[in-house]
Structure 1
Amino acid sequence: MGQQLSDAVATLSGVGPARQKGLAELGINTIADLLTYYPFRYEDLQVKDVNEIADQEKVTLKGTVASEPVLARFGRKKNRLNFRLLIDHDVYMVTFFNQPYLMKQIETGQDLAVYGKWDATRSSLTGMKIINPNNADSAFGSIYPASKTVKQGTIQKMIKQAYELYAPVITDIVPANLRAKYRLLPRRQMIHDMHFPASQADSTAARRSATYEEFLLFQMQMQVLKQTDATTNGIAIAYDNDRLKAFIKTLPFELTHAQKRVVNEICLDLKSPKHMNRLLQGDVGSGKTIVAAIVMYAAITAGYQAALMAPTEILAEQHANNLAQVFADTDVNVALLTGATKPAARKTLLAALAAGEINLLIGTHALIQDGVTYANLGLVITDEQHRFGVNQRAAFRQKGGQPDALAMTATPIPRTLAITAYGEMDVSEIDELPAGRQPIQTTWVRSNQANSALSFVHQQIDNGSQAYVVTPLIEESETLDVKNAEALSANLQEYFGASVKVGLLHGRMKPEEKDAVMAAFKAGDIQLLVSTTVIEVGVDVKNATIMMIYDADRFGLAQLHQLRGRVGRGTKASYCILVADPKNQQGIERMQIMTQTTNGFVLAQKDLELRGAGDVLGVKQSGMPEFKVGDPIADLTVLQVAQQDAHAIVQQPDWQSQPDNRALAAYLSQKLAAVGTLD
């Protein structure tokens, strides 16, 4: 077989089991992973003229060592290495801190290139590393994301070794016609210039080619998954339209235009024999749950079972209670299954589910565990989609014969980004709020004005309302000057006195403790709840009218918006108070926009512009792909072009066997086999 990019990194010299484990933690398992482990920045190692250097600029100076190196030790484990460098008849002092081993590399009379930070007032250089000018691979030093176990230098050496050994087997993946159209570099050169650019222009051209390649490969995966999904036989759910219309008429309110449109989109998908894979986006309070209820009822009228999975027990329980009321006068049999379900009750429930007696099951990830068998599952809905991993969603779909899948999220993702995160899904949006929803008045105060805000909170509580107070941290932190939840709850209890019961909720509490506190708040036994963001998603307390958020500038806009959405769920006027002392202009802008709009989609777009995709969605849990080079915000145009190109490729009949696409098809089949799922 010879060498292949799919070879394990262990084939390189110096990679034993410990290093292999460290590399795996960085996502590097194969030679291909290593070669596409791109630098996130470069150090300019080109030798500069002393007269052209700005103060504090990082530069490389080249000269002759003009004095013996002197090592001075001071303090515990601290030392300073000094020597003089002769450059064009002038002598400059070079200092290295805490690198005593460099003594051996410095000899009087030797030519030396040193990379470091220039101090213009002292005409001296604080050295960072010594460069062998005859051996430099390029004029730019590549800087990689490293870890405690795998250091920067190790990554650099391994990439150099891998490139030297495997360059001959690096072949193009992007079809030749697209490479010509966009003037992209051949893949071998692109990889070389990403790691070892000779100039700024080389690195820019390589990054441009790498960004397009990465986006095209991602979009091809999305298109292939979508195509496979469409051709996979789903279920044609022939629901009873008359019964569905009659059910909608029994609802105590008129659906908004947006809700009607979305219900129609989903019902069309249900009827179709193609497999549905749809994302339903709706801002906080836009009425996604009732849309879910309507489409689940549609599936049930056709004799199918429906399941709704929520990320927490509190939320699952809330859905079960609300839906039991919605379906009170129908033949829908609602059941709740969570980790808290007692063994005896669970056994009875599972038997009824397998027999088809339960036609709507609501719960947490307990719904997809082994031993949970459905008689005839037709529709699965996941609430707060981004809280579930790919494998959990896939396991859900395997519970039935390819049941239709609907994912719901209240984390507004601008449509431009939705094509990235959920490129294989169709997207529906509820973009208006139901009539009668109270607008939430948002104000921003500095921390020295917090007491006047608290007196307003006291008035509201005296008038019979309840309040949330949110803070970012749980316990003392030396590095962050933030109010922690425990200290804050004690202070507030003292401030409000015995007439107000203050509760505390944070992430370190056991689930049953959290549930007990939340139940007491819902029942009105606790008037003011101090919490970290564990109350963020979906919990519904209609009597809560105030959301006060300390250190609000430490949260993203999307998260602040989610928190704000916890109030204003009843008929009373509601308020959100942001307490923050932002340190920079961006922080001030974020506080101002929160007071100017309650539209989650506007906020999400603004958050993307200010912070980038990874921060907004919390990449690790969002299902957002992590790109190595491309930035879905900054490079959005490239992303959209790549999507159009990918779409055009898969529309061609028998595209895989066309000579230009063979390398691309081979790459995808390998990639999709590794994923092992169409989700």
Structure 2
Amino acid sequence: MQKTRKITADGGPFDIPVTELRGVGPGKAAALRQSGIVTVADLYGYFPRRYLDRRTVKSVASLRDGEQVTVVGSVDTVLREKGGRGRSRFKVRLSDGSGILELVWFRGASYLSGSFRPGDTVAVHGKVGFFGRLPQMQHPEYERLDGGTSGDLDLFHTGAIVPLYPSSRHLKKATISSRSMRRLVRNAMQAFPPLFPENLPEELAGRCGLLPLGQAYRTIHFPESPEMLEKALLRFKWTELFYAQLYFALRRVSVRDRKDAVRFNRSGRHTAALYRTLPFCMTEAQKNAVREIYRDLRSGSRMNRLLQGDVGSGKTLVAMFAMALAADNGLQAAFMAPTEILAFQHYLSIRRFTERLGLKTGILTGRQQKKERRETLTSLEEGGLDIVVGTHAMIEEGVRFRKLGLAVIDEQHRFGVLQRKALQEKSHRPHVLLMTATPIPRTLTMGVFGDLDVTVIDGMPGGRKPVVTGLRHESERAEVLEFIREEVGKGRQAYIVYPLVEESEKMDIRAATESFAQLRGELSPEIRMELIHGQMPSAEKERVMNAFRSREVDLLVGTTVIEVGVDVANATVMVVEHAERFGLSQLHQLRGRVGRGDCQSYCFLVYGGAPGNQARERLRAMERTNDGFRLSEIDASMRGAGNVLGTEQSGTVSGLKVADIERDYDIMCSARKAAFALAERDPGLREPGHCMVRDYYRRHYHDRFTLADIA
């Protein structure tokens, strides 16, 4: 019999190896180690992935036609039958002592055959149907519980909720089943009760109705009821989100309280001239964004602001006012874009403003001629340039600014954290403005950019009409081309976008280069066409874009290099070929290239074959709404938060173990409020009762979130 030891903060689960538990030999210890379980504390933190409510399990003899039930039994026979057209059916007969239940799959026989062996104990869930007197489930959900017999169900007590753990299949000879894991956790709790030190102040946990930590650990592994399981999950989700938000809170307080950023005290010649020379009226949303940014720049604390706005909402103009204010204060501004073509588009757009203001603007990319690059670098270092627009080439070692005061980073989600940080380190604490034309759901804004001040441009310039979006099958392509002819005949311009540059042997996608040649024969010779894609030399891309902008080209055929940054008000038609291959955000960005003038614009999403469910949902969402923020919510729900942002983002998305920032939004709001209140009251976490928070943060979060400091 094992000796019971009390778990404390400086011992117990933090250093007791799992090999001290009964039944853990070298083989099982190795398999556990592959799953990240080395100590008893690791074992307690290995939460079940779902639960089987034994109270809903029915015997085979009691099954009724049409009901959705769970049945637990022993695999009796496994059979693979050949069907028509070379297909095969896979059948399993399951016995629970009261009768036989037949399980049938009409596809997947090759991989399913390795999932069931006679004698395995299996839980299945599905809809019951009867064929004669034999009950059957087609394509049920299933869970291998163990390799034992149906009589060996010692952990399936009547009325119990049974935890099902992620299967450990790292080592062939030491596979750890869900049942083995349950036994292991129960042995651990008997030998080493989970008397963890609290990681939240008692007053805070009580006010939020959270279970004590030790009780939460016991409950999440062996819940007494669904209600208690929900309380245990709430404790872990709330705590996880609290510490993630505490990172944001401490970082924001740290940035705000450091009054060592350059203060933009003067506004005058350049900012006034910019406003005076605008050929249009700014929207109220743009004016509000400028006011918020000006307030930051004059505060003495470093601006750390995210500017969100749908495609065409005028973010670049807002950034232009910030850069003009930098020039009024004798400082330089850097504008970094993720691609060369986007950087060049911004350069042309910004230069149209700066030429009227008497400001010098340069461009810096990786493909510049050596002489041009050298001249730009010299002018930048000597102060001859007020604004530089470029790609990640601006963060290279040889790039030096005379006095960088403002860093603007466009499409910030395409840059890694270290790339953004490298630009900021080109000067002593410059102000930072991040911009995105990909609207971010409120859940992601709070969960990933929680340390930033956020400004949303929620209005569009006046006179613009919503883009009419239509879905078209590839069999209707001739009608789409006829529509382009009609629009060009009215003096308008159009885009056709393809997902690939050259034909792929593995994918049935019409590629841009081949299709460009074909289009010449399909459209009237009078329609002037040009091709653009990312593999073209920079000078050639520049020539094509200038020709399209000056209306020397009617139809621009290309790839997604025109996804962002291209602003031609006369373009009224966007055609996306093989639209089912594109993501929702990308489709919205492409559609945003039209609808920038006062004429009605159109977007045709041309799809081939029979798109899958998610592809159909994306296309229908595009047809239903032009609202980028609504589309971002749909995109996040379809793909998940981490995938929406990509792998380069920092923040809580990749670090969450229990919580989900979409499903648990209300919990995150509660945890965020408490975390920010604590950081405001005690930024150093030195007050009595807060030391446990400081110690827990340092132990579990400080290495992950290295940008926040606690004194």
Q: TM-score range by the shorter chain?
A: 0.7 to 0.9
Q: 1:427-456, CA deviations, whole angstroms, 9 ceiling, x for partnerless residues?
A: 122222223445433344455544323211
| Between 526-535 and 646-655, the greater mean CA deviation after superposition | 526-535
Segments of structure 1 that go 5 or more residues without pairing to the other structure are 107-111
Query: Is structure 2 residue 204 aligned with structure 1 residue 178?
Result: yes
**Residue 215 (structure 1) aligns with:** 241
CA distance in 1, matches of 2:597, 2:508: 35
**Residue 461 (structure 1) aligns with:** 488
Contact kept? 1:613, 1:619, Cα under 8 Å: no
| Between 7-16 and 552-561, the greater mean CA deviation after superposition | 7-16
Query: Is structure 2 residue 115 aligned with structure 1 residue 115?
Result: no
**Residue 129 (structure 1) aligns with:** 144
CA distance in 2, matches of 1:115, 1:586: 29
Cα offset for 1:307? 0.8
Contact kept? 1:234, 1:275, Cα under 8 Å: yes
Contact kept? 1:81, 1:100, Cα under 8 Å: no
CA distance in 2, matches of 1:345, 1:508: 21
Which AA in structure 1 matches 2:234? R
Contact kept? 1:19, 1:149, Cα under 8 Å: no
CA distance in 1, matches of 2:169, 2:534: 27
**Residue 631 (structure 1) aligns with:** 660
Q: 1:11-44, CA deviations, whole angstroms, 9 ceiling, x for partnerless residues?
A: 9966999998x879xxx99998886565554455
Which AA in structure 2 matches 1:219? Q
Q: 1:466-510, CA deviations, whole angstroms, 9 ceiling, x for partnerless residues?
A: 322235567889998876656655654443265546555667888
Cα offset for 1:266? 1.0
Cα offset for 1:383? 0.8
Contact kept? 2:52, 2:162, Cα under 8 Å: yes
**Residue 603 (structure 2) aligns with:** 576
Choose from 313, 333, 340 the match for 2:360: 333
Cα offset for 1:205? 2.9
Cα offset for 1:651? 2.1
| Between 501-510 and 185-194, the greater mean CA deviation after superposition | 501-510
Q: 1:524-559, CA deviations, whole angstroms, 9 ceiling, x for partnerless residues?
A: 676434444442222223442211234546655544
Contact kept? 1:23, 1:150, Cα under 8 Å: no
| Between 464-473 and 5-14, the greater mean CA deviation after superposition | 5-14
Query: Is structure 2 residue 97 aligned with structure 1 residue 87?
Result: yes
Alpha-carbon distance change, 129 to 240 in structure 1, aligned in 2, over 3 angstroms: closer
Contact kept? 1:473, 1:484, Cα under 8 Å: yes
**Residue 4 (structure 2) aligns with:** none
What's the TM-score once normalised by structure 2's chain length?
0.77
**Residue 427 (structure 2) aligns with:** 400
CA distance in 2, matches of 1:418, 1:569: 27
CA distance in 2, matches of 1:39, 1:45: 15
Contact kept? 1:43, 1:143, Cα under 8 Å: no
Q: SS of the residue aligned with 1:371?
A: coil
Contact kept? 2:470, 2:623, Cα under 8 Å: yes
Which AA in structure 2 matches 1:308? F
Q: SS of the residue aligned with 1:539?
A: coil
> Aligned ranges for residues 421-440 of structure 1 at < 5 Å?
421-437=448-464, 439-440=466-467
CA distance in 1, matches of 2:222, 2:506: 38
Segments of structure 2 that go 5 or more residues without pairing to the other structure are 1-9
Q: 1:270-322, CA deviations, whole angstroms, 9 ceiling, x for partnerless residues?
A: 11111111111222222211221111111122111111111111111122222
CA distance in 2, matches of 1:253, 1:560: 28
**Residue 113 (structure 2) aligns with:** 98
Q: How many residues are treated as equivalent by the alignment?
A: 662
Q: SS of the residue aligned with 1:418?
A: helix
Which AA in structure 2 matches 1:59? T
Choose from 515, 537, 546 the match for 2:573: 546
Contact kept? 1:493, 1:501, Cα under 8 Å: no
Choose from 282, 289, 312 the match for 2:316: 289
Cα offset for 1:407? 0.9
Cα offset for 1:72? 8.0
> Aligned ranges for residues 44-83 of structure 1 at < 5 Å?
47-50=57-60, 51-52=62-63, 59-62=70-73
Contact kept? 1:42, 1:141, Cα under 8 Å: yes
**Residue 6 (structure 2) aligns with:** none
Which AA in structure 1 matches 2:362? A
CA distance in 2, matches of 1:274, 1:645: 24
Query: Is structure 2 residue 341 aligned with structure 1 residue 319?
Result: no
CA distance in 2, matches of 1:509, 1:162: 60
Alpha-carbon distance change, 193 to 603 in structure 1, aligned in 2, over 3 angstroms: same
CA distance in 2, matches of 1:199, 1:253: 63
**Residue 676 (structure 1) aligns with:** 706
**Residue 694 (structure 2) aligns with:** 665
Contact kept? 2:270, 2:327, Cα under 8 Å: no
Contact kept? 1:617, 1:624, Cα under 8 Å: no
Query: Is structure 2 residue 418 aligned with structure 1 residue 391?
Result: yes
Contact kept? 2:413, 2:645, Cα under 8 Å: no
CA distance in 1, matches of 2:170, 2:521: 45
Alpha-carbon distance change, 368 to 101 in structure 1, aligned in 2, over 3 angstroms: same
Contact kept? 2:169, 2:175, Cα under 8 Å: no
Which AA in structure 1 matches 2:575? M
Contact kept? 1:282, 1:288, Cα under 8 Å: yes
Which AA in structure 1 matches 2:568? V
What's the TM-score once normalised by structure 1's chain length?
0.81
Alpha-carbon distance change, 592 to 72 in structure 1, aligned in 2, over 3 angstroms: closer
Cα offset for 1:374? 1.9
Cα offset for 1:424? 0.9
Cα offset for 1:62? 4.2
Which AA in structure 2 matches 1:123? P
**Residue 649 (structure 1) aligns with:** 678
Q: SS of the residue aligned with 1:48?
A: coil
Q: SS of the residue aligned with 2:685?
A: helix
**Residue 109 (structure 1) aligns with:** none
Which AA in structure 1 matches 2:427? G
**Residue 601 (structure 1) aligns with:** 629
